[in-house]
Structure 1
Amino acid sequence: MGTGLTATRHSRIDDVAGTGELFAGAPLYESPGWLRYCERLSGGRMTYLVARDEHGRPVGLTATRIVRPGQVMALYDLGTLFDDPKPAALYPNVVSAVSGSHWVDRVLPGIDPAPVRAVLGQELAEGAAELGCTAAAALYVGEMDSARQLSVAMGGSPPFVFAAQTVLTGQWSGFDGYVASLKRSRRNKVRRELRECRESGIRISVHSGTKALGEDTARLQVALREKYAVGGSVESVLADYEHLRATVEDRLLVFRAERDGRLLGMSIALLDGDRLHLRLVGFDYAQELAFLYFNVLFYAPIEWGSRNGMTSYAFGTGSYPAKLARGCVPAPLYAVVRWPDADRAVCEERARAHEKALIEELGIGDGEGNS
């Protein structure tokens, strides 16, 4: 490609030598600790693509994994874009994304990112072909320029809006500052949701690390999964807690909602500088919860964050109306896909329909600020 860059592949982040400078200042979802967590979560199915300069120095990195039906959450499965039957050639495929709905885009500071992304995009497509996969994708790409660079390198279809990160930004000195930032009608609803939750006798406590996680919280997470027909078991959730403890223990916060000593709800958040990522929740649906969802996912974390130097909160993808109503702003996340040749036309049509429906729901024009 005329840049002097080459690419190598690695199955463990700890096998990639000389990355200290590359990871300096990395956000949570691109940190070595989080990538180790993703390795554990995937059962060893991760592959890291590393761009190297003419001296062999790592100058860029992204993360991929092979996807077969039923092996990943719907968030990372291209098949969720389609009704059944899905295109037969879609599986297996290779996806570049990590837990947290994030595309890893580590580029050494001071290096032009465009040729680095070009090398990594080409390596993604070539690696997929070598594995016998007729589809490859980079999901949750945060910038359209990056997505276009990847599309050219991968020989992919045009990028499309795949999802949106919902972000709440505010440097408040207390929870009242957050409430004051909302529209008047929403302020009254938030105050009512807070009041009714507290008057029902529910109290929410905050804990650092995984010590507040156990079978009681795992049961609530499984209950939520069952409500939405997502598989899981107490044992698998407890295993996930162990993965978190081994990799990102120092970044973890747990919010526990209890009434009369009984756990009714919980959420897990992760610290990322002055940003708080809200990730997992669980509830005891057999009990009267009195707006507990909003309290344990939104209000308790915002109240804690406003007293502890947080200036932004990331609430993830999905459930957009509830998040936007509570002050979040949607940041488009793009997908770049090299579809199976035999199904390319129908896949591109489905991608366009997905994007159209999503941007209408989010009110973000075409995803680039154009209405």
Structure 2
Amino acid sequence: MSTDIHRAGDMDAVAGRWSPLARTLHALPNWLRAAESRDGGERHYTVFDGPDGPRGGLVARLMGEDGRFRDNPLAQLVRPDSAMRRFLAPEERRRLAAHAERLAAAGDRLYPALVSVLPGGCLPGLLRGPAVDAGVVGELLDELRSLAAERGAGTTAVMHVPEADTELRGALAGRGYVPFVSVGDCVLSVAWKDFEGYLAGLRGPRPTRVRREIRGFEESGAQLRETTPDALGRRHAELHLAHLRRNGQEADFDGSLGLIESIRRHPTGRGRVLEAWRGDTLAGFVVFHDVHGVFHPTLIGVGPQEEKAFTHVNLCYYGLIRIAVAEGARSVVYGPESYDAKAFRGCAPERRISHLRVPEELREAVFGAAALVDAGNRRRLSSYAWQDPGGNG
């Protein structure tokens, strides 16, 4: 097929061609622009244009050892998550440590890594056009390989491929990529006529606890109100910082304010903000994006004294669910981690498979480590009381 290839180091240069490929929040041009301004680093975009429009696109970035853990496949093998390790037997942990030690010693041959991922999301950075085009996957992977060689990358990776995407997973396997389950992307499918229908669909004692948490929020004197990202300011940054620190993350006010300013500068999808007010005091907020009827909560801030009022769950779960039901949204994508809370409130996990290709002399160690991390993450995801026991969790 005749194809024009367009390459660029920033989204502005290819945005017009890229936009028809972007069907999810984290692939939208403004989301990628925000990631460029926030994270820095070298990025690479490629768009394959066909006679009827763009056939496929690729975004990838070079990453060192300090790359964000969730998007760094080598870090997940060398410094495996402690929550995952608890699901490995002692002998498996010993073997994983031995593989990790060998890989850590070979860092100069493994880094930099060229990683294809949509920043901030749980999807790969390889996009396919709306028309069926069996050849474009191979062309995108060939482009990634060529780019890795050009940039001197020791490792090439495609992160967070949906388990159901057998076409891409098969193409990666055929090119020698080693797979492992990296995360579970938690999704709440909206299938009720009203909020009472949501409660009725929860199993066991869950509806009783949910009603108690809603009542506690209301009795605290708090109310939910919706506004727009233009209303975000310093108070929101303070609440975001408090939320991060409460969860044990190192953070500072300037970083939180920078995130908020980035959201305002780069409007993405239908950006919305749900706030919790108690009188004249802003107690919490959640930024969410509505993209084709799918809600994506992306930024949360809750005051340090709000636990007893259940402000967090009323904002991020019950408040969003009420809006989603009222507007006929298809789903709410809650992302990875905090699996227990998400399972309790009705989410189902969609496993994401990450793939990496390394120098041949290190493939055995990578294969061994990846198999163990895969087993641990699968067991971990299966350990939660997901609402849909027949789902892929």
Task: Provide the TM-score with structure 1 as the length reference.
Answer: 0.86
- Contact 2:22–2:127, Cα closer than 8 Å, also in 1: no
Who is 2:91 aligned against?
Answer: none
Who is 1:75 aligned against?
Answer: 70
Residues 132-170 of structure 1, C-alpha deviation per residue, up to 9 Å, x if partnerless?
A: 2211111111223312213334x322x222112111112
Task: Indicate the SS of the match to 1:203.
Answer: strand
Q: CA RMSD in A?
A: 2.8
Who is 1:156 aligned against?
Answer: 177
Q: Distance in 1 between matches of 2:338 and 2:181?
A: 16
1:262–1:81 Cα change, 3 Å: farther
Who is 1:9 aligned against?
Answer: 7
Q: Does 1:314 align with 2:333?
A: yes
Partner amino acid, structure 1, of 2:70: L
Who is 1:175 aligned against?
Answer: 195
Who is 2:116 aligned against?
Answer: 96
Q: Distance in 2 between matches of 1:207 and 1:80?
A: 38
Once the two structures are TM-superposed, the CA of residue 239 in structure 1 deviates from its matched residue by 2.2
Task: Indicate the SS of the match to 2:251.
Answer: coil
Partner amino acid, structure 1, of 2:123: H
Who is 2:85 aligned against?
Answer: none
More divergent stretch after superposition (301-310 vs 143-152): 143-152
Partner amino acid, structure 2, of 1:149: A
1:145-224 matches, within 5 Å, as 145-153=167-175, 155-157=176-178, 159-208=179-228, 210-224=229-243
- Contact 1:37–1:248, Cα closer than 8 Å, also in 2: no
- Contact 1:49–1:124, Cα closer than 8 Å, also in 2: no
- Contact 1:7–1:119, Cα closer than 8 Å, also in 2: no
Once the two structures are TM-superposed, the CA of residue 191 in structure 1 deviates from its matched residue by 0.8
1:139–1:194 Cα change, 3 Å: same
Once the two structures are TM-superposed, the CA of residue 277 in structure 1 deviates from its matched residue by 0.9
Partner amino acid, structure 2, of 1:147: R
Once the two structures are TM-superposed, the CA of residue 338 in structure 1 deviates from its matched residue by 0.8
Q: Distance in 2 between matches of 1:207 and 1:369?
A: 35
Task: Indicate the SS of the match to 2:121.
Answer: coil
Partner amino acid, structure 2, of 1:29: H
Task: Indicate the SS of the match to 1:19.
Answer: helix
Who is 1:60 aligned against?
Answer: 56
Partner amino acid, structure 2, of 1:351: A
Task: Indicate the SS of the match to 2:17.
Answer: coil
Who is 1:273 aligned against?
Answer: 292
Partner amino acid, structure 1, of 2:209: K
1:1-371 matches, within 5 Å, as 8-16=6-14, 19=17, 23=20, 26-43=23-40, 45-53=42-50, 58-70=54-66, 72-78=67-73, 79-83=75-79, 87=104, 88=107, 89-98=109-118, 99-112=120-133, 114-142=134-162, 143-153=165-175, 155-157=176-178, 159-208=179-228, 210-248=229-267, 251-363=270-382
1:287–1:324 Cα change, 3 Å: closer
Identity %: 28
Task: Indicate the SS of the match to 1:166.
Answer: strand
- Contact 1:11–1:44, Cα closer than 8 Å, also in 2: no
Structure 1 spans left out of the alignment, 5+ residues: none
Once the two structures are TM-superposed, the CA of residue 294 in structure 1 deviates from its matched residue by 1.6
Q: Distance in 2 between matches of 1:370 and 1:175?
A: 25
Once the two structures are TM-superposed, the CA of residue 212 in structure 1 deviates from its matched residue by 2.7
1:129–1:56 Cα change, 3 Å: farther
Once the two structures are TM-superposed, the CA of residue 172 in structure 1 deviates from its matched residue by 2.6
Task: Indicate the SS of the match to 1:69.
Answer: coil
Partner amino acid, structure 2, of 1:348: F
Task: Indicate the SS of the match to 2:342.
Answer: helix
More divergent stretch after superposition (55-64 vs 314-323): 55-64
Partner amino acid, structure 2, of 1:308: E
Partner amino acid, structure 2, of 1:146: L
Once the two structures are TM-superposed, the CA of residue 16 in structure 1 deviates from its matched residue by 2.5
Q: Distance in 1 between matches of 2:335 and 2:392?
A: 23
Structure 2 spans left out of the alignment, 5+ residues: 80-99, 384-389
Task: Provide the TM-score with structure 2 as the length reference.
Answer: 0.82
Once the two structures are TM-superposed, the CA of residue 76 in structure 1 deviates from its matched residue by 1.3
Q: Distance in 1 between matches of 2:3 and 2:299?
A: 39
Once the two structures are TM-superposed, the CA of residue 190 in structure 1 deviates from its matched residue by 0.8
Partner amino acid, structure 2, of 1:151: A
Q: Distance in 2 between matches of 1:60 and 1:25?
A: 10
Residues 160-217 of structure 1, C-alpha deviation per residue, up to 9 Å, x if partnerless?
A: 2211211111233322121111114111111111111211222222212x12311111
